[in-house]
Structure 1
Amino acid sequence: MATCIVCGAATDGHICDTHEEDVAFEFRGNSPDQLTAGRFYRGSVDGFADFGAFVDIGDSVTGLLHRSEVPGRLESLDWDDGDQVYVQVMNVHDNGNIDLGWSIRQAERDFRGQLVDDPSADSNAQLPEEPEGNGHSADASTETETADGGTPTSESNSEFEFGDDETDADDTPQAGDAGEPNGETNDSQATTDARSSDSEERAQTRDESGAETESASGADEAEDDQDDAAPEDVERVEIASLDDRIGDRVALEAEVVSTRQTSGPTIFELVDETGAVDCAAFVEAGVRAYPDVEAGDVVRLVGEVESHHGDRQVETEELTVLSGENADAVSARKAEALNERAAPEDTTLLADDDDVAAVQDDLVDAATSIRRAVIEGQPVILRHTATVEGYVAGTALERSLLPLVRDEHARDDAQYHYVDRRPLDDAFYTIEDATNDVTDMLEAAERHDEKHPLFVLVGAGSTSESADGVGLLDMYDAETVVVDGGYADDAPAVDALVSPTNDGGNTVNTGALGAQLAALVNGDVREDIRHLPGIAYWTDVPTAYADLAAESGYEREELATLRDAIALEAFYQSYEDKRELITDLLWDETGGSLAEHVADQFRTKLDTELDTAEPHLEPRGEGGVVFEVLDVGEFTHQYDFPPVDLLLDALSRRDDRADVLLGVGDDELRVRSDEDVDVRAVGERVADELPEAGVVPRGARDGRIEFLSGEKDAVTDAVVAAITDQLA
């Protein structure tokens, strides 16, 4: 029985089933049917076609990465013929064709292990051969327990390279570099190799604070004092200072944010209050060092700072998991520095809006939470309604986040890895939505050792309907920020709430509110998003936002065109973010032709549906209040554009004959009116009057009323009476 190179769990081979997708395989077979579907393979680009890219897997087989598998445009891959890439084998057809999937990880360091898929071997998941002449640094031996808690072993640190294959002009390749089996040993390496014969076995002990640590044993300890000072005698330094300490032996106190297993050492990514660094710990090739150390642990690490191809790295000698006051002190330092870094540099509003100014402090708090998530390496999940307001707010936040992510994280795929915009089916964050998010979150944590995301709920999350969903996130300590310009009602407890009505103010267009927040998250995009708030309004764009858009060259007619285009695209494939398409619409470089094309389709479809629905409006008069009722179940196309809410909004704007428009479906009723109608209060009254009708008000004052379909007529009559009394 072997152990998993990622988690150390007992398994039949070198990788357990849970983490098989966390390693990259080198294929040494000669036939497509020898590939294993689901695995990620290293390959090389073999050419391009309009429909995708061809990738060689090993020396004998080639697969197709279809353009539909690429999250952006095909050219966004920035691949050239011959480039080394990573792809996932999705399917191998009987005719030998291979369907490939795109990998968000495009560097060796992004995977948590490297294995060989050799069909001719006893097992097709083998460790790569250790490069000849692999030297070991032995300033101090590396200690670890076995995965089952057995006797600690002692091995020297490996001078093992990972990452790209380029070498700085000033760096001599180190023996044992990954991908450089013939690297020669330099003088520094020879010195450490000469000392390796004197390295001692160490036993793991526990200090008085309860922290796990390592102590030396053996008669030669005094002899090594000159080179191997006790951990407490090594100077603690900040990670940001390591560039100036190449060759020094230092101590770091930081949080482990990720681990990954290479074919040589285990790599721990440490983050303190000043930055992040990779630390390599070696037991033997492909074997997990310190298997009990996990992401989230606060540690003290002693090691030598080295430069590998221009990247700093610490060769780990001793690793201690801190607890109690020691861990709290490290966390407090990090939290204080992160709060200072995360605070927005510019806290002025994007445009003057008194209703937004009333929650400016809440906006700053929300922006700080979002910026801190980026700094700490938390993915940010943007959940917004599939409406114009939701798309404007969500896209504005996405636009502000992407540059921050690219600046903070070096990996090429960071913008896809750390920012994910997911439209919602409804105006609530339901338990179904939360279940999907928690499932993805736990899988990412289990498979990739990923931090729990920060969830930003836009246009949802401020009413009681979202309480169960938000509560599920809270059960897993996932942070939540809610941004909603609509009516709040019994808002669930979240980490940051931006809701003007919750603070006793007026409703605000959620698109404008989200754009204001985006400007605080990243001041560098202010000029880029100035036209977005004006797009979110169907009528009467406030002067402040219209003027702001005009400064960027967008007049009111152009704002209306963009609004109509977004409204149409928000409906189709509503669960997809459509990042590139939405970007093209909102920041079109082609003179507006794309937006005009889509907006024309919107107007044609909407006008057709309006002309179809208007003849079926049923007038009703109660107590001086004029009603018109549309049976949306009978007289609209249920699964075609426009959706019911958008159609009713358009009918309400177009028809000035009625005080109140009711859209009545088979089991739902919606209200549109320029009058002050409290839909929740109406629903609560009808529920009391018709207890057998299963009436449930959904949402706040501007929500809807659900009921049993068999009670449709009775509920409609009761709603009409309740609204009449409200407006009397």
Structure 2
Amino acid sequence: MSPPAGTDTGAPVPDGGTVVYELADGCTLDDVEEGSCYVGTVNGVVEYGVFVDLSEELSGLVHDSNLVGDYDVGDELVVELAEVRENGDVSFEEVQFADYTTEAVGRGTDAVVDDLADVTGETVTVRGEVLQIKQTGGPTIFQLRDESGVVPCAAFDEAGVRAFPAVDLGDVAEVTGRVESRNGGVQVEVDELTVLGGDRERAVRDDIDEALDEAAEPADIDPLVEWPAFEKLWDDLRDVARQLRRTVLEGRPIRMRHHADGDGLCASVPLQLALERFVARHYQDDEAGRHMLKRLPSKAPYYELEDVTRDLNFALENRERHGQKLPLVLMLDNGSTEEDTPAYRNLRHYDIPVVVVDHHHPDPEAVEPLIDAHVNPYLHDEDYRITTGMMCVELARMIDPSLTDELRHVPAVAGVSDRSEGEAMPEYVELARQEGYDEADLRDVGEALDYATFWLKYDDGRELIDDALNVNCDDRDRHEEIVEFLSTRAERDVDTQLDAAMDHLEHERLDNGAHLYQIDVEHHAHRFTYPAPGKTTGKIHDRKVEETGDPVITIGYGPDFAVLRSDGVRLDIPEYVTELSDEIDGGGVSGGGHLVVGSIKFVKGMREQVIDALVEKMADAEIDEELQSTGVLSQD
């Protein structure tokens, strides 16, 4: 950075001294001005004066007539730039002050990240926090954040050798180098990188913190529909939107875990897109979104130790190999129950933050001491009818409101997929109708999502799922063709499964008048194909509800699990799980879900005792003819 034009030698500064500039090693004539004062080092003594270095690239003569003292090689003195001749020779005059303040000058023009695209090919100085240090086979890449954005800075030593090894993650640094175009953005090719401390470090951090507070503030939007029940969650969602935006701005990756069903996809896909676009606005590297965000479907209705182990291993490898910060884990349509706590305790060993957005019946006393934020309608005396997809569409809009037109149909898909009977469902369906979807279309989209994610297993299937949901999809015809194909195949496979299973249903009438249907899905349904046991149980249940018109409970069980569905009966599956765990010694009972939709696990040898005890509790449950099912969740 050159001193300001018109700087007067000896001009007073706030502490009463004088400004004397100290040039970085790479500074050239472009970084100095006549009449300004600089710290110089004597590099040679001759009869007619001394030669002085201001930097490795800039030297000049102080004629003996302009010297005040006597100097040897290596001595420092303060000089004023007197003249730059046409041939490039530089002359100085020695000056002396009783008091002065030194100000460091980096090579090139001061710039902020947002402006770098306008100065491609020029040398600049940028100051910010080091967010990532990645060693490639060639340069070391330092991701540097200032108050306006993040830019990759490539520093070269020997190929594959760490440049500037004294620089650590989280340091505040001053980078000087040439701006070049790369990966759809810009990159600084580093000449000098210096770690800042003291007042200069504090000033940079203060500027960044102030800018990040402003940039992290969620967009001020109105909800897609007016729904008093939903309004109770609005402030919680804004807090999460603020936290997610701040997480991205601070360079912390996000691992997004979601239940692998229609509602989970309606929650995670819009949020992934919103965060990617937010990353793109603040990072100069087009590849940043891919490295910062991972969407990961979870088959189980809770955060399994298998999944958390994968996540931890991935995060620790990325920290070691790519210099990334440890991630924030974002749980969607999952993560509210006591079954999640072993995974959360594992994350706590590494201080990894966890945010949960879910609509399953929660165990707040168990999970909230282990997580950083929890949005759930049950915490506001509401229930499952507010689906996670509905919440996350609004969350995505708070992060990137430009997505609104692409997401208007998604809450209705989420509601239909989870059979929500919320008061606002007709309004969500009307929004979807305005986008060209009738209720049959919405059901087909939900079935297509369930079918696709079943076969994708642990793969996020980004492009296929985007097209099936018609989010970030540029071809409506392709979307409709894919949905028709997938939903038709899903219907065919369901019919095949039910043709095999229905003859094996066991039926009884409970004391409270409800129909109870049970089936051994391990022995009387096709395995390892669509639909999975949870979906199979749900489809059987739907058929029996339609046939009887009466209160119905359906249990699909295997060797060590049972899937539960209910219509017209006031069950409390999470409470049953707690009671069975206490009452049956050696049963190993665990599980949960919604009040009337859920699953439980137990040890294989105790299946008969657990299910018999469960049926007894169901027989005592209150009948409510108006109570509607939460819908069929695609649990395995």
Contact 2:147 2:208 survives alignment (8 Å): yes
State how 1:79-98 maps to structure 2 within 5 Å: none
Letter in 2 for 1:464: E
Q: Specify the alignment match of 1:677 in structure 2.
A: 571
Q: Specify the alignment match of 1:7 in structure 2.
A: none
Q: Secondary structure at the match of 2:489?
A: helix
User: Cα 1:275–1:509, aligned 2, differ >3 Å: closer, same or farther?
Assistant: closer
Contact 1:465 1:699 survives alignment (8 Å): no
User: Cα 1:665–1:249, aligned 2, differ >3 Å: closer, same or farther?
Assistant: closer
Q: Which whole-Å CA distance do the structure 2 matches of 1:581 and 1:716 have between them? A: 39
Q: Which whole-Å CA distance do the structure 1 matches of 2:284 and 2:125 have between them? A: 24
Contact 2:561 2:600 survives alignment (8 Å): yes
Q: Specify the alignment match of 2:524 in structure 1.
A: 635
Letter in 2 for 1:291: P
Letter in 2 for 1:426: A
State how 1:104-253 maps to structure 2 within 5 Å: 140-141=24-25, 195=58, 219-222=74-77, 232-234=103-105, 239-240=112-113, 253=127
State how 1:523-538 maps to structure 2 within 5 Å: 523-536=401-414, 537-538=416-417
Relative contact order (C-alpha < 8 Å, sep 6+): which is higher? 2
User: Cα 1:139–1:246, aligned 2, differ >3 Å: closer, same or farther?
Assistant: farther
User: Cα 1:311–1:637, aligned 2, differ >3 Å: closer, same or farther?
Assistant: closer
Q: Specify the alignment match of 2:438 in structure 1.
A: 555
Say which of 706, 711, 721 aligns to 2:606: 711
Q: Which whole-Å CA distance do the structure 2 matches of 1:247 and 1:635 have between them? A: 70
Q: Which whole-Å CA distance do the structure 1 matches of 2:204 and 2:55 have between them? A: 32
Structure 1 residue 474, shift from structure 2 partner: 3.3
User: Cα 1:641–1:285, aligned 2, differ >3 Å: closer, same or farther?
Assistant: closer
Say which of 615, 624, 631 aligns to 1:720: 615
Structure 1 residue 265, shift from structure 2 partner: 7.2
Q: Which whole-Å CA distance do the structure 2 matches of 1:411 and 1:427 have between them? A: 36
State how 1:256-295 maps to structure 2 within 5 Å: 256-260=130-134, 268-277=142-151, 288-295=162-169
> Mind listing any 5+ residue stretches in structure 2 that lack a counterpart?
1-21, 29-53, 62-71, 82-89, 93-99, 624-636
Deviations 1:300-339 (A, max 9, x none): x275x6545695748555623537x875664444233212
Contact 2:113 2:126 survives alignment (8 Å): no
Q: Which whole-Å CA distance do the structure 2 matches of 1:263 and 1:644 have between them? A: 48
Q: Secondary structure at the match of 2:485?
A: helix
Contact 1:259 1:266 survives alignment (8 Å): yes
Are positions 1:458 and 2:332 aligned together? Answer: yes
Q: Which whole-Å CA distance do the structure 2 matches of 1:483 and 1:470 have between them? A: 15
Say which of 363, 375, 380 aligns to 2:249: 375
Are positions 1:616 and 2:504 aligned together? Answer: yes
State how 1:262-661 maps to structure 2 within 5 Å: 268-277=142-151, 288-299=162-173, 301=174, 303=176, 306-308=178-180, 313=188, 317=192, 319-322=194-197, 330-490=204-364, 491-492=367-368, 493-507=370-384, 508-536=386-414, 537-538=416-417, 539=419, 542-587=425-470, 588-590=475-477, 592-626=480-514, 627-656=516-545, 657=548, 658-661=551-554
TM-score by length of 1: 0.65
Q: Secondary structure at the match of 1:633?
A: coil
Letter in 1 for 2:621: Q
Q: How many residues align?
A: 525
Structure 1 residue 193, shift from structure 2 partner: 7.0
Deviations 1:228-255 (A, max 9, x none): 9986455996725865999999876521
Deviations 1:138-175 (A, max 9, x none): 95448xxxxxxxxxxxxx99xxxxxxxxxxxxxxxxxx
TM-score by length of 2: 0.73
> Mind listing any 5+ residue stretches in structure 1 that lack a counterpart?
1-137, 143-155, 158-190, 199-216
User: Cα 1:312–1:460, aligned 2, differ >3 Å: closer, same or farther?
Assistant: closer
Q: Which whole-Å CA distance do the structure 1 matches of 2:323 and 2:195 have between them? A: 20
Q: Which whole-Å CA distance do the structure 2 matches of 1:247 and 1:607 have between them? A: 64
Q: Which whole-Å CA distance do the structure 2 matches of 1:516 and 1:392 have between them? A: 11
Structure 1 residue 382, shift from structure 2 partner: 1.8
Letter in 2 for 1:596: E
Letter in 1 for 2:527: Q
Contact 1:263 1:285 survives alignment (8 Å): yes
User: Cα 1:450–1:231, aligned 2, differ >3 Å: closer, same or farther?
Assistant: farther
Q: Secondary structure at the match of 1:635?
A: coil
Deviations 1:451-500 (A, max 9, x none): 32332211111111112222333332333221112211133332222111
Q: Specify the alignment match of 2:19 in structure 1.
A: none
Q: Which whole-Å CA distance do the structure 2 matches of 1:295 and 1:621 have between them? A: 65
Q: Which whole-Å CA distance do the structure 1 matches of 2:485 and 2:158 have between them? A: 61
Q: Secondary structure at the match of 1:384?
A: strand
Contact 1:231 1:251 survives alignment (8 Å): no
Letter in 2 for 1:559: L
Letter in 2 for 1:344: P
Letter in 1 for 2:58: R
Contact 1:270 1:277 survives alignment (8 Å): yes
Contact 2:360 2:593 survives alignment (8 Å): no
Structure 1 residue 442, shift from structure 2 partner: 1.1
Q: Secondary structure at the match of 1:637?
A: coil
Letter in 2 for 1:417: H
Contact 2:113 2:148 survives alignment (8 Å): yes
User: Cα 1:330–1:707, aligned 2, differ >3 Å: closer, same or farther?
Assistant: same
Q: Secondary structure at the match of 2:296?
A: strand
Contact 1:489 1:700 survives alignment (8 Å): no
Q: Which whole-Å CA distance do the structure 1 matches of 2:139 and 2:272 have between them? A: 36
Structure 1 residue 407, shift from structure 2 partner: 3.1
Measured on the aligned residues, the alpha-carbon RMSD in Å equals 3.7
Q: Which whole-Å CA distance do the structure 2 matches of 1:141 and 1:284 have between them? A: 20
Contact 2:335 2:358 survives alignment (8 Å): yes
